Structure 1
């Protein structure tokens, strides 16, 4: 799995996302089919998006029942994968809100390591009136 993710995420083989499509859709429907949610991919900074050529979380979110909404923006910083656990946990919230929502949100991300990325995004959404925040990640490392 590590090799597949590296090829997809870091070497730009976008089409590998389809290897996850069937499982991803089934998993989502099993957990979120009974409620109307807004699917929000964890954003990349503009610099990281230029570097990679696509947002892997957004690629996953495109398989979900409704189109993803980009409610968040992200400030550029060092890659999470380059940070040690303690650095991740104590990092400042890199997100800003593009639009407030009053429906439940499902945050979509590719890899869950410490959970701090999702916690930062969820905190910002909740502080701005979002009633419920869930998360859906492809891999837990």
Structure 2
């Protein structure tokens, strides 16, 4: 006997047998069909110790990718972001899923990522979880903050500790333009972050600029260690 549900990505039916757990609790753990699950490409193998980028012989220096070598050789930015962990490769399939989630307002798609986020953070230790904030303009456009949605569906308690003070879209900027921007964030309450180990949450790691701006603001306000988790790299 089967329960019938629809995949929250493609809307095709998911079929799975009844279990004692489903009979007694009525829980429906499966949200994504086998086909869509297969298109989510987990980052595996040897990756950069700082940003989770898969390492290739021509674009690495020891355990780091060349991008992170450049960041850490820059006195303006080195030492602020301890480490970023990304879960998936940003392939064409995930790009479309995130676009539907982020730009077309499909909040339910955050549930796709929740089990992966929980598993990735299972052994991590931190004091505060802070989602990367949107500007008021972007929040009004989208209706919700995708980083907060990712954290919420993974049952993480979050703290609204950062204010975005630079509102230009960074997705259209080059790496050089992003690095040269004035500080993007301001810490709302330094007492909240002082002495804390902080986990930042965001959807995509592109150049690392956004996360490093946030990490720098937090570190300069007394935070002791800042790491980050992103869905895609």
| TM-score, normalization by structure 2 | 0.56
8 A contact 2:205–2:230 mirrored in 1: yes
Counterpart residue number, 1:95: 185
Select which of 28, 36, 39 maps to 2:121: 28
Shift of 1:66: 4.1
> In structure 1, what is the Cα distance between the partners aligned to 2:220 and 2:208?
18
8 A contact 2:199–2:229 mirrored in 1: yes
CA separation of 1:65/1:137 partners in 2, compared to 1, >3 Å: closer, same or farther? same
8 A contact 1:118–1:135 mirrored in 2: yes
Counterpart residue number, 1:72: 162
SS at match of 2:214: helix
> In structure 1, what is the Cα distance between the partners aligned to 2:130 and 2:216?
14
More helix by share: 1
Counterpart residue number, 2:58: none
Counterpart residue number, 2:218: 125
8 A contact 1:24–1:63 mirrored in 2: no
Pair member with larger Rg: 2
2:172 is equivalent to residue 82 of structure 1 = yes
8 A contact 1:46–1:76 mirrored in 2: no
8 A contact 2:110–2:153 mirrored in 1: no
8 A contact 1:43–1:73 mirrored in 2: yes
8 A contact 2:131–2:159 mirrored in 1: yes
> In structure 1, what is the Cα distance between the partners aligned to 2:148 and 2:213?
18
Shift of 1:64: 4.5
> What's the CA shift string for 1:14-71, capped at 9, x where partnerless?
11111111111111114x1xx3420000000111100110000111121456410011
> In structure 1, what is the Cα distance between the partners aligned to 2:136 and 2:211?
19
SS at match of 2:171: helix
8 A contact 2:114–2:154 mirrored in 1: no
SS at match of 2:201: strand
Counterpart residue number, 1:14: 107
> In structure 2, what is the Cα distance between the partners aligned to 1:17 and 1:66?
13
Select which of 131, 141, 154 maps to 1:41: 131
CA separation of 1:67/1:127 partners in 2, compared to 1, >3 Å: closer, same or farther? same
2:151 is equivalent to residue 61 of structure 1 = yes
| TM-score, normalization by structure 1 | 0.91
8 A contact 1:25–1:63 mirrored in 2: no
Shift of 1:79: 1.3
CA separation of 1:109/1:75 partners in 2, compared to 1, >3 Å: closer, same or farther? same
CA separation of 1:11/1:37 partners in 2, compared to 1, >3 Å: closer, same or farther? same
Where in structure 1 are there 5+ consecutive unaligned residues?
none
Q: How many residues align?
A: 137
